[in-house]
């Protein structure tokens, strides 16, 4: 569900709207430049590049097969990235057809997020994009008050269950 929140936040940012939950929630869950679509493109480009390498006889033995894959890794990544960027920026019948498998794959990974998830995605977008961000003081104070009131039943790192029970009794 977080990928859906990220996609909505990216759409909002790309449309130069203020990053609020209300603004983000109106955008679709699927995004043409999704990381899931990128992985699909990488797989397809890798198949094409390694097939071309085998046509030239560069996969005669296991050592050359591995070396060709390592050497071609930047080429595969670069071609895949450029293809994803191009498909995301252009909206023609051909690009829609080429983009369709990646968009359908997102049906598995990007679900409709809750408003809380969108809030997390907004904070992540602001931090990643270098947009000034300050945590809301009210929310921080409420979270702190709730944390003080809630007893700790779980053992702390390195502690045992008995130590956790003793700590809970002292609260």
Residues 68-85 have pLDDT tens digits of: 899 999 999 999 999 999
The whole-angstrom separation of Cα 70 and Cα 55 is: 17
Give the pLDDT confidence of 32-43 residue by residue, as tens digits: 888 889 999 999
Sign of the CA dihedral running 125, 130, 134, 135? positive
Query: Residue 59 — pLDDT band, cuts 50, 70, 90?
Result: confident
Secondary structure element (H or E) that encloses residue 47, with its range: helix 35-55
Burial of 79 (0-12, 13-18, 19+ CB in 10 A): middle
Structure confidence at residue 38 (pLDDT) = 94
Question: What is the per-residue pLDDT across 12-22, written as a single tens digit (0 to 9) for each?
Answer: 998 888 989 99
Nearest residue to 45 via CA among 80, 18, 19, 14: 80
144 pLDDT tier (thresholds 50, 70, 90): low
Average pLDDT of the segment spanning 127-152: 60
Q: How confident is the model at residue 136 (pLDDT cuts 50, 70, 90)?
A: low
Per-residue pLDDT, 153: 47
Task: Specify the pLDDT at position 133.
Answer: 74
Q: Residue 151 above 70 pLDDT?
A: no
Q: How do residues 154-170 score in pLDDT, each as one tens digit? A: 444 444 555 545 554 55
pLDDT of residue 171 exceeding 80: no
More confident residue, 146 or 10: 10
DSSP track, 135-148: --HHHHHHHHHHHH
Of residues 75 and 58, more confidently modeled = 75
* CB neighbour burial string for 121-158, b if at least 16 within 10 angstroms, e if fewer: bbeebbeeeeeeeeeeeeeeeeeeeeeeeeeeeeeeee
pLDDT at residue 163 in the model: 56
């Amino acid at each position: 569900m977080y990928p859906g929140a990220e996609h909505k936040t990216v759409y909002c940012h790309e449309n130069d709207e203020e990053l609020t939950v209300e603004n983000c929630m109106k955008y679709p869950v699927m995004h043409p430049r999704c990381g899931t679509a990128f992985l699909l493109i990488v797989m397809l480009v890798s198949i094409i590049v390694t097939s071309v390498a085998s046509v030239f006889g560069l996969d005669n033995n296991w050592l050359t097969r591995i070396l060709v894959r390592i050497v071609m890794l930047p080429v595969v990544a670069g071609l895949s990235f450029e293809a994803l960027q191009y498909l995301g920026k252009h909206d023609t019948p051909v690009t829609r057809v080429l983009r369709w498998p990646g968009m359908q794959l997102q049906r598995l990974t990007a679900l409709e997020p809750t408003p809380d998830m969108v809030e997390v995605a907004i904070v992540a977008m602001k931090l990643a994009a270098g947009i000034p961000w300050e945590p809301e003081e009210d929310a921080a104070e409420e979270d702190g008050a709730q944390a003080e009131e809630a007893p700790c039943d779980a053992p702390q790192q390195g502690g045992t269950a008995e130590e956790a029970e003793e700590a809970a009794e002292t609260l």
